[in-house]
Chains A and B, each alone.
Chain A
Amino acid sequence: MAVKVIIPTPLRPYAGKQESIELQAGSVAEALVALTTRFSELKKHLYSDDGRLRSFVNIYVNDEDIRYLQKEKTSLREGDTVSIVPSIAGGSHIA
């Protein structure tokens, strides 16, 4: 399926400075593999060392959070839009 992946501003320098990427994928997992294969520098920002999506990386399919669908197994249809949406977190040293 031809789908569009929307790249958030902080990751565009690692994706050829593009706002969106068109690629072929049948699921969210396939889309992310295709994306990080084409732009390998994206991988360390999307995945932690244990290979899981980082907790502050949110993936939406047509405005629906994949955590409420079938997560990375969520299937994609022709023309779907996959958005990588940041959440922001941090905090001080104090316990």
Chain B
Amino acid sequence: MSGVLLKICDGLLHRIGAHGVETYPHECCGALLGRDGDDAREVLELVPLENRRKDSPRNRFEVTPDDVHLAEKIAREKQMELIGWYHSHPDAPARPSEFDREHAWPWYSYIIVSVQQREPRDTTSWRLRDDRSAYDSETIESAAHSATR
């Protein structure tokens, strides 16, 4: 398994927070496109998606297989990889819930932004352990501009 460092430029981090504000008090979601390296992975593009979970969008999000296909297609067109997903936790901490863990895939990076009273707060990133027992935190390294684009 490759490293636990996730690089992402400030502009993309800002857009994730802005998406969370836009959909507040509902959860936002989207795909992370970029490159996976031996020591780190880097987010280079976002694909904002509609939260398909209509019965409880305040504390749940869902991305359908069709939307996963769409994100993979966009990644291929841009010669990138689909490396993970982001979503917001409205008025809740930026920590993965038990529901997040039960529904997570391995390998993907999962960015969570906490949106408190319409203001983006903490942003964290996580990766599921191989045995599905828990998440490991990924260190987010942000910069004004992407270094390896």
Contacts and interface: CB of A to CB of B under 8 A. Distances in A.
A58 interface: yes
B92 interface: yes
Nearest to B99: A91
A55 B96 CA distance: 19
B82 A92 contact: no
21 contacts: A8-B105, A10-B105, A12-B107, A58-B65, A87-B62, A87-B63, A88-B62, A88-B85, A89-B63, A90-B87, A90-B99, A90-B110, A91-B27, A91-B60, A91-B97, A92-B59, A92-B89, A92-B90, A92-B92, A93-B95, A94-B91
Nearest to B58: A94
Q: Which 9 A-B pairs have the closest CB atoms?
A: A91-B60, A92-B92, A88-B63, A10-B107, A92-B89, A90-B100, A10-B105, A89-B103, A85-B65
A39 interface: no
A36 to B, nearest CB: 15
Interface residues of A, number: 26
Contacts of B48: none
Contact of B92 (A45, A58, A88, A93): A93
Interface of B: 1, 27, 29, 53, 56, 58-65, 68-69, 81-82, 85, 87, 89-93, 95-100, 103-108, 110, 130-132
Contacts of A45: 105-106, 132
Contacts of B110: 90
Contacts of B99: 89-91
Contact of A94 (B59, B105, B107): B59
A93 B65 CA distance: 24
Nearest to A57: B105
A12 B108 CA distance: 12
Contacts of A55: 103
Contact of A56 (B69, B97, B103, B131): B103
Contacts of B29: 88
